[in-house]
Amino acid sequence: MTSGPRRVLMVAYHFPPLTGSSGIQRTLRFVQHLPALGWQPIVLTASPRAYERTSHDLDSDVPPDTVVCRAFALDTARHLSLAGRYAQALARPDRWMSWRFDAVRQGLALVRRYRPQVIWSTYPIATAHVIGAALHRASCLPWVADFRDPMAQEGYPADPLTWKSYDRIERHAILNAAASTFTTPGAAAEYRRRYPQAASRIDVLENGFDEASFASADPVAIAAQGPLNPGAVTLVHSGIVYPSERDPTQLMVALRRMHDTGTIAPGSLKLRFRASVADDLINRLATERGVQAYVETLPSIPYRQALEEMLRADGLLVLQANNCNEQIPAKVYEYIRARRPTLGLADPAGDTASVLRNAGYTHLAPLESADAIALAFTAFLSDLRAGRAPLPDTAALRGASRLARSEAFARLLERVTTQ
């Protein structure tokens, strides 16, 4: 057992003041909870200049005594392009590949100064694992590679050279890290199949919700604000709508069918897409199907305001295509904590639908089938208006908190540093 404070060097691109990605919450909440669990985080992240959008609304959630080192980094698309074009080699494995150079230099300085017991790096910025690998190689410290989701997949990344880069990075991490973690059982199982020689070192470490953030919402003030759209049932989809992974095309087709059959009428229903980053796509699809009266797209708002919006919504909307069956949107766990009726448009065979079912939700349909969506949506609205739409049970809430995930993470750190 190591004497004195135990430290973990955390390599993470997603960290405040970056905004616009729920991925920030994973590292941020680990940083919050680990000190009480016997681990002091040292954060190695990117310079804010590398972030497309920033907000300081979560700065105060970083414990004041946390060491945060921000290494020089550029975004190739914004800083190294000419007339909107840039060399693809400068964006491989990702647009933030420049981060690795100063991050490795500063990371080694952090290792010398603070003597951490373990290194942790987290995807979906692949360069983070490049940095983690370099620090592991130079320091001989155990390394935990947090993949969250699969990296090299069939058809993703689309560019063959980038795919090869991803494949090389993931292979090196899986075979050399003391542990590799994924956020879903399906992803972990897939990687155990890919790398049977490392199967015993592949773990599931799910995402979750932050109870303190929800507890800060004033229920009296929320009730006083009233419904999001008076007179209309409002379902909120909070977060990015990826054109492939969360394609809303068949949802718009289903809305048109429901309109044509009189199930819905203008003024009775609104689908609110908050911070989708795909407003043009959503509005175009809605216009093509003549259902724009049922759709609204709104910009990003601070994190806690987004949580309050979930709490005020009549219902919540999950989109997840069957090409992401081994992934679960981090937002799903916040939906569960919000305890609002939820319509899940996800493949019944995938991990997202499994989490929703296990939480007690029953209104589910594959995102690729307009027929199934129309049936599930119609039943959902009927149950919602009758006050019988299911809500998540207590056990689902208890197990999905960020604190519970941090406790599991602390046990993992203990294991890799004592084996």
Q: Phi/psi class of residue 140: alpha, beta or left (left: φ > 0; alpha: ψ in -120 to 50)? A: left
Tell me the C-alpha distance between 185 and 400, whole Å. Answer: 14
> To 10 degrees, the CA torsion angle through 94, 98, 100, 106?
-150
Tell me the C-alpha distance between 121 and 116, whole Å. Answer: 14
Helices (H), 11-149: 24-33, 76-79, 99-114, 126-139
- The one-digit pLDDT tens for each residue of the chain (419 residues) are 445 679 999 999 999 999 988 889 999 999 999 999 999 999 999 999 999 999 999 999 999 999 999 999 999 999 999 988 999 999 999 999 999 999 999 999 999 999 999 999 999 999 999 999 999 999 999 999 999 999 999 899 999 999 999 999 999 999 999 999 999 999 999 999 999 999 999 999 999 999 999 988 777 778 788 899 999 999 999 999 999 999 999 999 999 999 999 999 999 999 999 999 999 999 999 999 999 999 999 999 999 899 999 999 999 999 999 999 999 999 999 999 999 999 999 999 999 999 999 999 999 999 999 999 999 999 999 999 999 999 998 888 888 899 999 999 999 999 999 98
C-alpha pair distances (Å), 322 with each of 17, 74, 277, 285: 32, 34, 21, 20
pTM score = 0.88
Tell me the C-alpha distance between 19 and 31, whole Å. Answer: 17
Tell me the C-alpha distance between 326 and 190, whole Å. Answer: 8
* 3 state SS for 264-287: CCCCCEEEEEECCCCHHHHHHHHH
* CA dihedral over 362, 366, 367, 372, signed as positive or negative: negative
189 alpha-carbon distance from chain centroid: 19
Q: Which residue has the tokens 């990075």?
A: 169
